[in-house]
Structure formats: C-alpha cells, structure tokens
C-alpha cells in the first residue's frame, strides 16, 4: 500500500472492499515496526487493541452496514493526551508509569467516529521545546533526514504522519507545536481557534495558549478532523459551541503579508519558496496586500514570559505526593526536591525557575503584568489587520529542520525558531501550516492565519493552493 494516503482514500478502500480493515491496520503496524526503530516517533503502540477494533469494523462492513468517513482510519495520539487505561507520560520521567483514568474529550470524539488509535507519539517533555530532543525517552528523527530534528513539541506526531506510519495524528499547539513540526516534516498542521476544541484530558502546560489540533497529509483531512473534534465540552470552561453562523463561503480572498515577518533571520531559500507561494495565490485570484503587525517584535518575549509563569503554576501539582514519580526524602520538603529533581528534565526545570521568578514579589508587575498588557496590543494588531484582509500569510519557520544537537545547548536559539508562530497563540486565532516546497530534501511550510472561528477560510484557500501545487 502507498504511504501517505488521505482519509477519503482509506474510506474508499474499505467501502469498496479492496482491503479489509484488519489487513489495513496490520499493514500500518508493520510500517511502524520497520520504520520506528530508527525514527522513534512512537512511545507506545496498541497493537492488540487496534486489531480488535479493526475486526469489529470488518464485521460491520460484512453485515452491509455503512461506516463513517473516519471509521477504521489509523491515527496516532500525542502522549500528553489522556487515553483511558494507557500510559500517558507527557514525555517525562515524572509520569513514566502514570496510567490515564479517563479519555480526553478528543479521544471520545475519535472513538465515536471509529478511528483506530495505533499508539502514543513522542514529544518534548511536558510540551516544552521545539525539537523533540527534550523527551525523557529519546530523540525523534526527521523522516526526510535522520540527522535532523522533526520539530517540536509534536515531533513524534508529525513524523508518524510524514513517514506513513499513520494516516493522521492529533497533537497540541502551545506556541507552534503543531505547525512547526508539520513544516519541518512536510505535512499539514492546524492550530485551532482557542476554545474551539476542548482541552479536557490534555496535560496542561500553558492553559491560555494550549490547543489540540490535527496533523494530516492534506488540508481536506485537517478539515475533516477539525469538524470531528471541535465542540463545547462541559469539562472545559474555555470551550465554546462553534458559531456556524460565522461561516461565509467566498471565492475571492485578500491576503495580508506582514512586513515584519520577512526581514532579518528568515533564510533566503525559505523566503524564496514562500514568495513563490504568494505568486501561486495571486494566480488563484487572491489579492495580496502588505500589512503591518507593529508589535510583532515583542511577541517572542511576551509569549515566553507568560508561558514560563503558567507552566510553573501548572507543574506545581507534580510534587511526588499525589501521583507520578515519588522519591522518599528525609522530610516533606526533601521529598518534593528529590521527586521534582529526578522527575523533571533540564528544560522543564529551567522554565519552572524562570516562571517562578517572573511571578515573584517585586517582579510580577515588571514582567508578567507588562507581558499581559503587551499581549492585548498584539491581539489588537491582528484585529486591526483583519479589518482589511481575510487572511495573513507568513513563513511557518525561519529555517528548514536543523541538525540534532545543533541548538540543544543554546535555549535562546531554540526559542527563536518559534518567532513566526507564537503570536498566533497570543492572539488565540487559528492558523495552518501547509508545505510549499523544499530546500534540498528538507520541507518548508507557509502559514495562513485567519480571524477567530474562521478556519473555513484556511481550508478553502489551502485546498485550492494544494490543487495548484500538487505533490511538492
């Protein structure tokens, strides 16, 4: 079977009985067995459960019953999303033996649709990083070049899709953690409008940024999965009923190009490919307009200050007393210290320390308070820009995938890799990364950004762009 098939192609194979669901799942499991020895996209594989579920789909087909569009389609799940009865590590020794007691909201949606979860994928510990080098369980490699990173933090999820180990994946995006690895691995990644997909069952890192979304082989597949997993959830107060009345179809688009995103730091080869994508959109009838996001230069600092603060607060629960790793100490404080020292990796400890600092007395207003005020200005920049354009186009990343180990000793260089993605999470708006070419063998992505609850704009224009470009 050809790798990198779409959901609709799989559905047609099953309904036309060209392959049984069991044979399909076994084939994908075989691909994982062969490829993942080197790739290390998966932390766990649920072989028995997947085959049993596939057999039930075959029985349904044999009875002449209709199956849903996503039913029987193999998918992977980032290992910071709860799957009942399975180990959910968040890439950390702290949760190495933690077994989830319930399904995340998105898992419930996947189960209702009959999708088959083949396994849990690798990530930077507690979703902190940009390369999947910070996992406590080893580095994931880029399927296009095993000497390079797949991006992060959803690096395992993106690699599992790009390598053909699954048809699609579910990841999470805090500052680019779906879009950046999707760009590095040459697949499609969607960061959804904040609140459109429930965070229930997602191990929290930065609650005001975190969003769950799909990684797929096509824009159409991203649309299918988004429609599947979105919706109001009583267990997540930030989730909303998606306002269908907002959706307005259009065949003409005005696309804004922010001048701040095409300056220093953007590799010339990446700029050339993104410029070519702009020309392709012109050919589709889009109007291109230069715009300004004047507070863009403050986005990275603003993002990280708030992220450090919220992460330090969220990770306070991992104290060695309630659940997760517990190391005995001489007294209660010593138990806390031993558990957190051995349970958390270097990057997580760094962010907890910085977060505690920016929230401390005397520094709260100078750092955290000012960052929240600047966040409002960044959101206002987007609101103003969307008064004159339907979407905004930027590079997803300033460079293609970098070498494993190249930035691991330089946290600032690693943080700068998120320069084009973090402002989207600050503003809460939706964005999608779509492959737009390659530098040598390394994929490059372009990012389309839309107003809140206007994912349909990303899908409509993205699908048209894919038709023009074909296989890149």
What is the DSSP track for 392-430?
A: EEEES-SSSPPBTTSSTT-HHHHHHTTTTTHHHHHHT--
**7-245 has which CATH code?**
3.90.1300.10
- Report CA 430 to chain centroid distance, whole Å: 12
What is the structure's pLDDT at 193?
Answer: 98
Residue 312, C-beta contacts closer than 8 angstroms, at least 6 positions apart: 351, 352, 353, 354, 355, 356, 359
* Lowest-pLDDT range of 297-306, 355-364, 462-471: 462-471
How far apart CA 180 and CA 447 sit, in angstroms, is 10
Q: Higher model confidence: residue 361 or residue 214?
A: 214
Res. 228: pLDDT tops 70: yes
Q: Which residues make beta-bridge pairs with 175?
A: none
pLDDT in tens, 190-210: 999 999 999 999 999 999 999
How far apart CA 8 and CA 112 sit, in angstroms, is 18
Span 450-461, average pLDDT: 96
What is the structure's pLDDT at 337?
Answer: 86
Answer whether 81's CB lies under 8 Å from 170's CB. yes
How far apart CA 44 and CA 122 sit, in angstroms, is 9
Q: How many CB atoms lie within 10 A of CB 250?
A: 11
Span 137-144, average pLDDT: 98
Answer whether 254's CB lies under 8 Å from 390's CB. yes
Answer whether 428's CB lies under 8 Å from 196's CB. no
Answer whether 54's CB lies under 8 Å from 21's CB. yes
What is the structure's pLDDT at 334?
Answer: 87
What is the structure's pLDDT at 162?
Answer: 98
- pTM over the 0.85 mark: yes
Q: Higher model confidence: residue 141 or residue 341?
A: 141
H/E element holding 7? helix 7-15
Tell me what percent of the residues of the chain surpass a pLDDT of 90.
88
What is the structure's pLDDT at 249?
Answer: 65
pLDDT in tens, 282-334: 999 999 999 999 999 999 999 999 999 999 999 999 988 877 888 888 888 88
Confidence tier at 1 by pLDDT (50, 70, 90): very low
Residue 384, C-beta contacts closer than 8 angstroms, at least 6 positions apart: none
Answer whether 441's CB lies under 8 Å from 186's CB. no
Q: Where are the domains of the chain?
A: 7-245
How far apart CA 319 and CA 332 sit, in angstroms, is 10
| Pairing of the two strands 391-395 and 254-258 | parallel
Structure-token pair, residue 409: 């000793």
Q: Higher model confidence: residue 320 or residue 7?
A: 7
Residue 360, C-beta contacts closer than 8 angstroms, at least 6 positions apart: none
What is the structure's pLDDT at 460?
Answer: 95
How far apart CA 251 and CA 284 sit, in angstroms, is 9
Answer whether 417's CB lies under 8 Å from 397's CB. yes
Residue 413, C-beta contacts closer than 8 angstroms, at least 6 positions apart: 407
Tell me what percent of the residues of the chain surpass a pLDDT of 70.
98
Confidence tier at 23 by pLDDT (50, 70, 90): very high
Structure-token pair, residue 416: 């700068």
What is the structure's pLDDT at 348?
Answer: 96
| 51 cis-preceded (ω within 30 degrees of 0) | no
pLDDT in tens, 64-120: 999 999 999 999 999 999 999 999 999 999 999 999 999 999 999 999 999 999 999
Answer whether 199's CB lies under 8 Å from 304's CB. no
Compute φ and ψ for 448, nearest 5 degrees: -110, 135
What is the structure's pLDDT at 333?
Answer: 86
Res. 245: pLDDT tops 70: no
- Report CA 89 to chain centroid distance, whole Å: 17
pLDDT in tens, 415-444: 888 999 999 999 999 999 999 999 999 999
Compute φ and ψ for 444, nearest 5 degrees: -130, 140
Confidence tier at 409 by pLDDT (50, 70, 90): confident
CA contacts within 13 A on the Cβ side of 28:
34
Confidence tier at 469 by pLDDT (50, 70, 90): confident
Q: Which residues make beta-bridge pairs with 117?
A: 75
Res. 355: pLDDT tops 80: yes
Span 216-242, average pLDDT: 97
């Amino acid at each position: 079977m050809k790798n990198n098939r779409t959901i609709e192609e799989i559905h047609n194979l099953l309904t036309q009985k060209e392959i049984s669901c069991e044979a399909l799942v076994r084939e994908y499991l075989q691909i994982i067995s062969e490829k993942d020895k080197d790739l290390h996209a998966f932390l766990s594989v649920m072989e028995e459960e997947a085959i049993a579920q596939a057999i039930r789909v075959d029985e349904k087909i044999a009875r002449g019953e209709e199956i849903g569009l996503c039913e029987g389609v193999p998918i992977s799940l980032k290992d910071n999303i709860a799957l009942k009865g399975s180990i959910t590590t968040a890439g950390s020794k702290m949760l190495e033996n933690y077994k989830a007691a319930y399904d995340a909201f998105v898992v419930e949606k996947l189960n209702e649709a009959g999708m088959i979860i083949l396994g849990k994928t690798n990530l930077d510990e507690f979703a902190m990083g940009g390369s999947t080098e910070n996992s406590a369980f080893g580095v994931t490699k880029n399927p296009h070049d095993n000497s390079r990173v797949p991006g992060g933090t959803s690096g395992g999820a993106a690699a599992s899709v790009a390598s053909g180990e699954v048809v699609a994946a579910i990841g999470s995006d805090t500052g680019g953690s779906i879009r950046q690895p999707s760009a590095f691995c040459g697949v499609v990644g969607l960061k959804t409008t904040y609140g459109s997909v429930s965070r229930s069952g997602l191990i929290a890192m930065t609650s005001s940024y975190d969003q769950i979304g799909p990684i797929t082989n096509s824009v159409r597949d991203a649309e299918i999965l988004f429609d599947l997993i979105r919706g109001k959830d009583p267990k997540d107060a930030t989730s909303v009923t998606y306002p269908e009345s907002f959706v307005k179809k259009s065949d003409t688009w005005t696309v804004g190009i922010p001048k701040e995103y095409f300056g220093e730091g953007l590799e010339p080869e990446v700029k050339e490919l993104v410029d070519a994508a702009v020309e392709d959109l012109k050919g589709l009838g889009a109007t291109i307009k230069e715009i300004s996001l004047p507070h863009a230069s403050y986005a990275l600092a603003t993002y990280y200050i708030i992220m450090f603060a919220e992460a330090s607060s969220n990770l306070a629960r991992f104290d060695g007393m309630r659940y997760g790793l517990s190391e005995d100490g001489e007294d209660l404080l010593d138990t806390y210290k031993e558990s957190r020292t051995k349970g958390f990796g270097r990057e997580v400890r760094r962010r907890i320390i910085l977060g505690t600092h920016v929230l401390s007395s005397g520094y709260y207003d100078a750092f955290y308070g000012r960052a929240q005020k600047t966040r409002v200005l960044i959101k206002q920049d987007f609101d103003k820009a969307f008064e004159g354009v339907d979407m905004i186009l930027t590079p997803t990343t300033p460079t293609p995938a970098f070498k494993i180990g190249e930035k691991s000793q330089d946290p600032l260089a690693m943080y700068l890799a998120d320069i084009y993605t973090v402002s989207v999470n600050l503003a809460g708006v939706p964005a999608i990364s779509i492959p737009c070419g390659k530098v040598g063998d390394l994929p490059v992505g372009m990012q389309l950004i839309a107003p809140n609850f206007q994912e349909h704009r990303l899908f409509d224009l993205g699908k048209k762009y894919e038709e023009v470009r074909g296989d890149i």
